[in-house]
Structure 1
Amino acid sequence: MRIGLIAEGGYPYVGGDARLWCDRLVRGLGQHEFDIYALSRSERQEDEGWVPLPPQVSRVRTASLWTAEDDGVVHGRRARRRFAEHYGELAAVLCAGGGRAADGASETPSALQADRFGNALYGLAELARDEGGLAGALRSEVAVRTLERACRGRDAMRTAREARVPDLLAVAAHLERALRPLSLDWYEDDGLGAADLSHATSGGTAALAGLLARHFCDVPLVLTEYGVRLRTHYLAGADAPPAVRTLLAGFHGALAAEAYHRAAVITPGNAHARRWQERCGADRSKLRTVYPGMDASRFAEVGEAPSCADPDTLVWVGRVEPAKDLVSLLHAFAEVRKEEPKTRLRIVGAPAGPEGEAYLGHCRALAAQLFPDEADGPHTVGENPVSFEEVGGPQLPSPADAYASGAVAVLSSVVEGFPVGLVEAMLCGRATVSTDVGAVVEVIGGTGLVVPPRNPRALAEACVALLRDPERRARLGAAARARALELFTVEQNVAAFHGIYLDVVAGTPVRRVVLDDAGAPLPFGVPAEAHVPGHWTNRPHTGPDTTAPLPEGAR
């Protein structure tokens, strides 16, 4: 079958989110064809290029979300009237809070408001198709004035009524970026219309492209969220002015509800994401949890070999950023040292952007303050028991070597989606101490110790308990590795999506119509095995898209 894989800021870009699992999925399903539809987030991401692509990728089509291009479309009076009508209806739903129930018990829009949002969204999509795009209209003064009228409407919430001109401009600009898929030419028979199904690898903008393929071409949609995009938008907008926060929360909530309603199957990456999706309107019968797949072979040597790690070393591995709460870890380690003075802590990871650089500097200063050099301590003068390192050096050439260097792996985060680093530690057969955030408890499943976040004393007590009990460490490490091999491998992930693809396509009518020489429909022109994996029909293979040539070395 042919799958249209839709990614926002991800595959096939080298620096993309969710790049690894998408690449493993595509490579693991060599019996299918993949068309990649990629929405880029930055110029830097585009300049970094693509990962090497396997032969089953027929073509790649890209569009930019980081720069606004002028499509040159000039709308006539009728088109402007249609735009104002549909955009005004969409804005009215946002001003009503996305149509959430009055009791506030759910994030799910009411059925009436959901219908209003959907009708407005697809009305704009049809206008974009008829006129050749909406880029100019969405950035026009008409859009801002239409949004302002909706905010002053009778049904608008008080927060929306208080929106000032800067707020309106900010919301209009955000909506223009979020609605850019409306103006793409992806929804024809030579695009997503040729796919047997579309697979959006995240919610939000990627899911919008899948919704439009379903609306115009009846292509069924599979939606995967390893991190719920709606939750991300809520967190990102926490510092925005109240009016901006309210209107954008309404938009993203309504868009998520529409995607959940129209998708054939929704695949959360863990129970934490699943609960979010259910609260935001996802039908429980459509939900199938599919854990991310990890390449277990990279950790096999460490996981299967007898442990030779320093029994007095704790190790933390990850991206250095405030959400990882290394400050609490350092304070916890100070408590550990009071009980076990020989213990060392290795912090292994690179900073995540400028914020991470600043945070790393703060953590280094805190470590120097908490652990001043002592001449009569268990270590030599000038040696700090906390080390900050990165993977790739002579001592730690790989992530597996980083986990192998410690007897206990620690996770101290205050915010976490699916804890990839924790799974890596489990594959290495390491006992773990983790904070109870995100999907940690679900991943650990009783094979490690879990403590409350932002509680250095509890974190220290758990670490000391494992440092003093080598037999327990070995027992937990073996159980953790067995659990990770059962649930979190690439093979498990690929097999799950293969089954989902077959289930979705099996329940979808064949949409292709074969014509005879006279141009009339040819009955039974598409054989029943058209949806069986493999090239059973005489449909010609589509080569790489000439509008987006594959980079050198991609094959």
Structure 2
Amino acid sequence: MKICLISEGAYPYVTGGVSSWVQSMILNMPEHEFIVYSISAKDSKDITRKYELPSNLLELHDIFLGAHVDENIQAGKRYNITEEEKEAFLSLIGGREVNWSVLFQFFVDGRVDSILNFLASKDFFDIVQELCTKRFVHVPFTDMFWALRSMVLPLFLCIDQKMPEADLYHSVSTGYAGVLGALAKHQYNKPFLLTEHGIYTREREEEIIKADWIKGYFKDIWIDYFYSLSQCAYEHAERVTSLFEGSRQIQMELGCPAEKTSIIANGIDVDKFHIQNRNQKVTGIHIGAIVRVVPIKDIKTMIQSFSIVQQEIQDSYFYIIGPYEEDEEYYEECIEMADSLGIRNIVFTGAVDVQEYLEFLDILVLSSISEGQPLVILEGLAMEIPFVATDVGSCAELLLGKYDSFGQSGTIVPVMHFHLMANDIISLANDPKRRKEYGRNGRERVTSLYTLPGMIEKYNRLYKEVNRNGRHRLSVERTV
């Protein structure tokens, strides 16, 4: 089977949970051939591959959205859009049900010579004017024009690409990747599967609410827009998987039909994590976080909690383990915060061999604002290291054992409550017996419920089921 995985902002250019998942899927399904379609907001000059491409990855297709900003623009053109096409564009921005088939076909037909030309056309001008006249009467036209242009530009650039042909399409999120999966289904009439590691729409909503560059009256428009993108993916997908029950419930709340949903948890190769190699340092408490240094991981909350811990435990060491090049401005802010708080013994390691740190760390920390089912928690627990984590994604399920009998393997604190995080770290640091108990419980949970072979078997079964049903559906449609 030839499978096209569609990823946004991740593989193979960014390390992290989603990229690791993509790499694992390809490596552990050698019987399938893969194509990866990767969407990046940056220019190709600004990124490098972080993963060695497996031999069964036949093609890597990239769309670098940043590469299009310097194109020459011919303003004022006409594209002779029909009334039905105009309504489809209006509904995309106007918060109504979107006719995606009409939108897809408009771009697939090859009528648009350049997305930037289309957004500078008289047709797009007319669409914005009608929106201002009928729905946004209190919004200045110029503000609306530039806001909508920036909103739809990435989407239209994605839709304007020719999708590679495959037997099955698998998007690793909603958003642009989800729409491209729906587009591929429209183009080739092949099955489309959607997996959400986190709830993309909720993550974008949080970012938009906090964003300074989006004016207040545009925040709702942006949020509704991303909900429309998710609806597109939910509507077109044959099956929609999530990593844990809480995520599946949110998918249904957002409009995904319950009969399409199922849970396939993340899994790790437990055999790579050798607890016999654990060699805790003789002195001090060693606390780590395996994390990308980016705002959604809320490194600043972690630093503030470490500051309190160090006041209580003088001989404590903090390791922030992971790459920091993705958002260098945020990284510098974190360095400045650590300096201003006078924290000693703090190390930003950059990209390193994580295993070396898992062999001696006493406690692991995760302070994210949003997560799905973090692979770093599974990996830490596989090495019998207890966690203190924020109450996001499936962290409570993994650490408190809500749905199993393996016992507690860490503690949960509210998002951004650095003082509560510090209290739990101090409590664990002062209780080696509880750390050992939590670590042992965690390894038992992971080895029983979250193994890589188990995950691969479930996806393989789903691929065969979706492809078989898709072939049957397509043969019926051809007959009709």
TM-score range, shorter chain: 0.7 to 0.9
* Cα deviations by residue, 1:462-500 (Å, 9 ceiling, x for unpaired): 233323332221111011122223333432332221111
2:310 equivalent to 1:348: no
* Cα deviations by residue, 1:10-38 (Å, 9 ceiling, x for unpaired): 33446698322112111111111223333
Q: 2:244 aligns with which of 270, 275, 286?
A: 270
* Shift of residue 64, structure 1, vs aligned partner: 3.4
Partner of 1:145: 126
Q: Does the Cα contact within 8 Å between 1:426 and 1:481 map onto a contact in 2?
A: yes
Q: 1:203 aligns with which of 170, 174, 178?
A: 174
Q: Does the Cα contact within 8 Å between 1:147 and 1:172 map onto a contact in 2?
A: no
Q: 2:413 aligns with which of 444, 451, 454?
A: 451
Q: Which runs of 5+ in 2 are unaligned?
A: 402-407
Tell me the distance in 2 between the aligned counterparts of 1:143 and 1:404. Answer: 58
SS for the counterpart of 1:346 is strand
Q: 2:158 aligns with which of 159, 181, 185?
A: 181
Tell me the distance in 1 between the aligned counterparts of 2:47 and 2:425. Answer: 44
* Cα deviations by residue, 1:184-238 (Å, 9 ceiling, x for unpaired): 232xxxx42xx22111122111222211222232211101121222223223322
For the pair shown, which has the larger CA radius of gyration, 1 or 2? 1
- Cα RMSD over matched residues? 3.4
User: Kindly, what percent of the aligned residue pairs are identical?
Assistant: 21
352-361 or 472-481, which moves further after superposition?
352-361
Give the AA of the match of 1:405.
F
Give the AA of the match of 1:409.
L
Q: 1:387 aligns with which of 343, 346, 349?
A: 346
Partner of 1:244: 218
Q: Does the Cα contact within 8 Å between 1:309 and 1:404 map onto a contact in 2?
A: no
CA shift in 2, pair 1:291/1:62, >3 Å: same
2:107 equivalent to 1:128: yes
Give the AA of the match of 2:31.
Q
Partner of 1:488: 450
SS for the counterpart of 1:288 is strand
CA shift in 2, pair 1:12/1:510, >3 Å: farther
Tell me the distance in 2 between the aligned counterparts of 1:264 and 1:53. Answer: 28
Q: Does the Cα contact within 8 Å between 1:147 and 1:168 map onto a contact in 2?
A: yes
SS for the counterpart of 2:436 is helix
Q: 1:228 aligns with which of 190, 199, 210?
A: 199
Q: Does the Cα contact within 8 Å between 1:39 and 1:65 map onto a contact in 2?
A: yes
Tell me the distance in 1 between the aligned counterparts of 2:424 and 2:228. Answer: 43
Partner of 1:257: 231
CA shift in 2, pair 1:310/1:221, >3 Å: farther
SS for the counterpart of 1:30 is coil
Tell me the TM-score normalized by structure 2: 0.84
2:375 equivalent to 1:420: yes
Give the AA of the match of 2:280.
C
Q: Which runs of 5+ in 1 are unaligned?
A: 100-113, 372-383, 514-520, 524-555
CA shift in 2, pair 1:218/1:259, >3 Å: same
Between 1 and 2, higher relative CO (CA 8 Å, sep ≥ 6) is seen in 1
Partner of 2:460: 498
Give the AA of the match of 2:194.
L
SS for the counterpart of 2:464 is helix
The residue correspondences of 1:503-522 to structure 2 (distance < 5 A) are 503-510=465-472
* Shift of residue 44, structure 1, vs aligned partner: 4.0
Partner of 2:354: 399
* Shift of residue 414, structure 1, vs aligned partner: 4.1
Give the AA of the match of 1:509.
R
Tell me the TM-score normalized by structure 1: 0.73
Partner of 2:9: 9
2:58 equivalent to 1:61: no
SS for the counterpart of 2:292 is coil
Q: Does the Cα contact within 8 Å between 2:84 and 2:102 map onto a contact in 1?
A: no
CA shift in 2, pair 1:509/1:321, >3 Å: closer
Tell me the distance in 1 between the aligned counterparts of 2:147 and 2:364. Answer: 43
SS for the counterpart of 2:362 is strand
CA shift in 2, pair 1:45/1:235, >3 Å: farther
Tell me the distance in 2 between the aligned counterparts of 1:8 and 1:332. Answer: 32
